[in-house]
Amino acid sequence: MVLSELRSAIERLPGPLPNYNLLHAILLILTLEKGPCGRKRLSSMISLGEGSARSLINRLRDLKWVDCGKEGCFLTPLGREKVEELRKCLLGPIKVSLMELFRGDVYLTLVRCVNYLNTLDLRDEAVRFGGRGALIFVVRDGIIFPETGEDLSLYAPNDRKLLESLGASDGDLIIIGLSEDPHISRISSLGASLLAIQGPRK
């Protein structure tokens, strides 16, 4: 799987631990999914210093997932295959404008390959990446609060309609990163989603 391949590649590096992690690598390839991007802009978008971003890019070039040219860095055909594989498990992070759950723009991620559903741990993971927490919903004959089994329509009918438009299936998770800073909302939503897919480290 893409996540285990990336994690193994990053952790096998000799020398001191790098300043980047799996989340940065995922953000990088998802950013390049939209098209080529220069190194400086890329480092800003994935919240890494230019030196660390360069090191991560080189690692992904070693894997032959990414290459760079005059137009910037871009996904190779193999890299596009890996992103397509990843997209089978998650959609997003997607920017949405909520009206009831949270006023303003936030990011959410739809998780399709759910292997871990400890909502407390998932919220803690969102906090670890700078968010105030996360709103987590299970799709199960509706969009449900996992702790209570109540449908979101009881509290936020308009936001429920917005989330319904994602086309989620039963068993999927919707994770919304809570932060007034959209960039942190994006990172915290994705970070919690990766935990939901992989489960806790052993």
| Residue 126 to residues 24, 99, 180, 196, Cα–Cα distance (Å) | 14, 21, 14, 11
Q: What is the pLDDT of residue 13?
A: 56
| Residue 190 to residues 14, 89, 149, 155, Cα–Cα distance (Å) | 27, 12, 24, 25
Residue 62 CA, distance from chain mean position: 23
Q: Which CATH class is domain 2-85?
A: mainly alpha
Q: What is the pLDDT of residue 72?
A: 93
| Single pTM value for the model | 0.91
Sheet holding 143-144, edge to edge: 90-98, 104-111, 173-178, 133-139, 143-144
CA distance 194 to 10: 16
Q: Residue 111 forms beta bridges with which residues? A: 90, 173
Q: What values do phi and psi take at 11, rounded to 5?
A: -75, -20
Q: What is the pLDDT of residue 18?
A: 65
The domains of the chain are located at 2-85, 89-198
Q: What is the CATH number of domain 89-198?
A: 3.30.1360.30
Q: What is the pLDDT of residue 8?
A: 82
- Say if residue 172 is exposed, middle or buried (CB neighbours under 10 Å; 0-12, 13-18, 19+): buried
* pLDDT tens-place values along the chain, 202 residues long: 788 888 887 776 555 556 788 999 999 999 999 999 999 999 988 888 988 899 999 999 999 999 999 999 999 999 999 999 999 999 999 999 988 988 888 999 999 999 999 999 999 999 999 999 999 999 999 999 999 999 999 999 999 999 999 999 999 999 999 999 989 999 999 999 999 999 887 6
Q: Which two tokens stand for residue 108?
A: 């959410």
CA distance 138 to 192: 14
